[in-house]
Amino acid sequence: MTMNNQGRPTRPEDTASYTPFPTHTGNRALEIAEPLIFEVGDFEGTGVDLPKAEGIKPRIAGFDRQHAPHLPGLAEPEAMRHYVRLSQKNYAIDMGLFPLGSCTMKHNPRLNEKVARLKGFADIHPLQPQSTVQGALEMIDILAGWLKELTGMPAVAMSPKAGAHGELCGMMAIKAALIARGEGETRTRVLAPESAHGTNPATAAQCGFTVDDIPADETGRVDLAAFKEKLGPDVAGIMVTNPNTCGLFERDIREIADAVHEAGGYFYCDGANFNAIMGKARPGDLGVDAMHINLHKTFSTPHGGGGPGSGPTVLADSLAPYAPVPFIIQDEDGFRLVEDIEGEAKDAFGRLVAFHGQMGMYVRALTYMLSHGKDGLKQAAEDAVLNANYVLKRLSAEMTPAFDGTCMHEALFSDEFLKDTGVGTLDFAKAMIDEGFHPMTMYFPLVVSGAMLIEPTESESKQGLDQFCDALLGLARDAKSGDQLEKFKAAPIYSPMRRLDETQAARNPVLKWTEDAPSMAAE
């Protein structure tokens, strides 16, 4: 048993339960069990050499922290190894296909990273004089121009810090517009299709609206009749994802827009799947009033293990006056940030973030746009849709497509093909890990039983897709054969960790390391 300096086991002895010859360390070549920094680090030490302090008498009015924070400092080689070892326990888009539907894991060009680190972008302060950041303001203005042209919308609020934050921006603009119309108190209901991202109803609720679900029809799209029945004078608007989370284009989008407008409401479009139609179709031509764009999905800024995202929100003329501060205008003196809610931006619904949004993401997104150009963006959307349909067609030989026909940029299956095999959706997904692939999105959208949503994106080669399809077809056949149940139940076998107990984590939450608490790991 390897113990740390607090006497906690850092790795259990039976890691070798599935290896023929246990090692003395418990490690297995490149697969190294990595303790927490708190178990190896020196609590008195530091891995940073700082200039010497002069010993000036502090002026902190008795607010001294009595002891330095109780956190270890690792020497640089220790820290480097620790985090490099941790990194090796992660799957990433640079390693292989990451088919998480609705998450859009596409290639992250390194040129984006290089440009984002230019000192003229990374080393400027949000509150330094605007005369000294004209290039930054111009850059944001150019990016805004691309977003407006690609979506056919006249205005854009740049500051939302993630897709869900962009939804909040759009719905707040709608709320502000309703208040300005004198209908802030009466229009309180927001319609949200069942296939909507869970953020949509959560956002509507956070803006003080009540949420009314709209069912999907048998084709996987908004049930038009049910939707129209729900319209009324208390409807603030509808939130539709298009292309939707079933991987389908809402072909009645204009009828939906017209009907909601006629009823006096607004049309919010969740633009999370804009990558399927960039350069191919513009939401502004289809009657949309507000839509956020996930720069990290559509325009290739890296997801970074879950953020940071960026969610600029395009707005129609009807909502543009209510856009939050700050925004950029150009006049004879150059580019200027408008920040005064009492003055020039008097109709603005307020402020969403302290500063100007995700500059680092803007730089990456614009770099990607310039690299692709309008021809390349269109080709990327076409390839994303082509790849998804190729996967849909090939996998349909053994798996159950959720709906008939073609799809947009993601292919949706149900777990019908696993019925009576004893293999569950989760088992199937975990078996994909052993084949060297990240699993697809599971159990979403909710309108399909045991949903499996696969989004290959345009980054995948035909050869890569064939390998992926061959593996999934093989797994489907294995499941149906009935004699490989054990493999699925044990999966994943070859990953750094085997199936993790999520129930225990939720039942008895351990959310930080503490010195005296026993580890959960087997003794």
Partner 1 sequence: MRYLPLNDKERAEMRGVIGVGAIDDLFRDVPADALNPALDLPDHKSELEVEREMMALARKNNAAGDTAFFVGCGAYRHHVPATVDHIIQRSEFLTAYTPYQPEIAQGTLQYLFEFQTQVAELTGMEIANASMYDGSTAAAEAALMAKRITKRRKVICSGGLHPHYEAVIRTNLELIGDEVVFAPSNPEGQGGLTDMIDEETSCIIVQSPDVFGHLRDLSALADAAHEKGALLVAVVTEAVSFGLLKSPGEQGADIVVGEGQSIGNAINFGGPYVGLFAARDKHRRHMPGRLAGETVDADGKRGYVLTLSTREQHIRREKATSNICTNSGLCALAFTVHMSLLGGTGLRQLAILNHENACKTADALSAISGVELLNDSFFNEFTIRLPKNAEAVVEELARQKILAGVPGGRLWPGNEDLENILIVAATERTTSDDIDRLASGLEQAIKG
User: Restricting to residues 124-153, which ones interact with partner 1 according to CB under 8 A?
Assistant: 124-129, 131-136, 138-139, 142, 146, 149-150, 152
Which residues make Cβ contacts (< 8 Å) with residue 224, sequence separation at least 6?
A: 217, 252, 255, 256
d(CA 406, CA 248): 8
Residue 505 near partner 1 by CB under 8 A:
yes
d(CA 211, CA 454): 28
Residue 333 near partner 1 by CB under 8 A:
no
Interface residues for partner 1 in 167-196 (CB under 8 A)? 167-168, 172, 175-176
Interface residues for partner 1 in 417-456 (CB under 8 A)? 429-430, 433, 438-439, 444
d(CA 509, CA 502): 10
Q: What are phi and psi of 133, to 5 degrees?
A: -130, 35
Binding test (CB under 8 A) with partner 1, winner from 32, 36, 328, 485: 36
Binding test (CB under 8 A) with partner 1, winner from 246, 256, 260, 361: 361
Residue 321 near partner 1 by CB under 8 A:
no
Residue 215 near partner 1 by CB under 8 A:
no
Interface residues for partner 1 in 258-287 (CB under 8 A)? 277, 279-282, 285-286
Burial 450-469 (b: 16+ CB within 10 A, else e): bbbbbbbbbbbeeeebebbb
Using CA of residue 21, residue 22, residue 25, residue 26, what is the dihedral sign? positive
Measured from the CB of residue 293, what is the shortest distance to partner 1 in angstroms?
Answer: 15
Interface residues for partner 1 in 42-101 (CB under 8 A)? 42-48, 50-51, 53-54, 56, 58-61, 63-74, 76, 79-80, 82-84, 86-95, 98, 100
Binding test (CB under 8 A) with partner 1, winner from 263, 356, 410, 452: 356
Measured from the CB of residue 16, what is the shortest distance to partner 1 in angstroms?
Answer: 9
Residue 154 near partner 1 by CB under 8 A:
no
User: Per the structure block, which two tokens stand in for 225?
Assistant: 């009749």
Residue 224 near partner 1 by CB under 8 A:
no
Binding test (CB under 8 A) with partner 1, winner from 4, 6, 37, 217: 37
Instruction: Please state, in angstroms and as integers, the Cα–Cα distance from residue 218 to each residue in 144, 215, 221, following that order.
Output: 38, 10, 7
CB nearer to partner 1: pick between 29 and 60: 60
Instruction: Please state, in angstroms and as integers, the Cα–Cα distance from residue 285 to each residue in 257, 265, 304, following that order.
Output: 11, 18, 33
Residue 477 near partner 1 by CB under 8 A:
no
Interface residues for partner 1 in 367-426 (CB under 8 A)? 367, 370-376, 378-380, 382-383, 385-387, 389-390, 392-394, 406, 408
- Quote the DSSP letter at residue 519: P
- DSSP string covering 449-466: TT-EEE---TT--HHHHH
Burial (CB count <10 Å: 0-12, 13-18, 19+), residue 152: middle
Measured from the CB of residue 519, what is the shortest distance to partner 1 in angstroms?
Answer: 6
* Candidate segments 225-233, 300-308, 415-423, 479-487, binder of partner 1 by CB under 8 A: 300-308
> Under rule CB under 8 A, how many of the chain's residues touch partner 1?
218
Pairing, β 290-292 against β 266-270: parallel
Q: Which residues pair with 213 in a beta bridge?
A: 192
Nearest Cα residue to 424 out of 436, 413, 415, 433:
415
The size of the chain, in residues, is: 523
CB nearer to partner 1: pick between 103 and 418: 103
CB nearer to partner 1: pick between 181 and 374: 374
CB nearer to partner 1: pick between 53 and 420: 53
Residue 518 near partner 1 by CB under 8 A:
no
Pairing, β 313-315 against β 290-292: antiparallel
* Candidate segments 232-240, 359-367, 410-418, 476-484, binder of partner 1 by CB under 8 A: 359-367
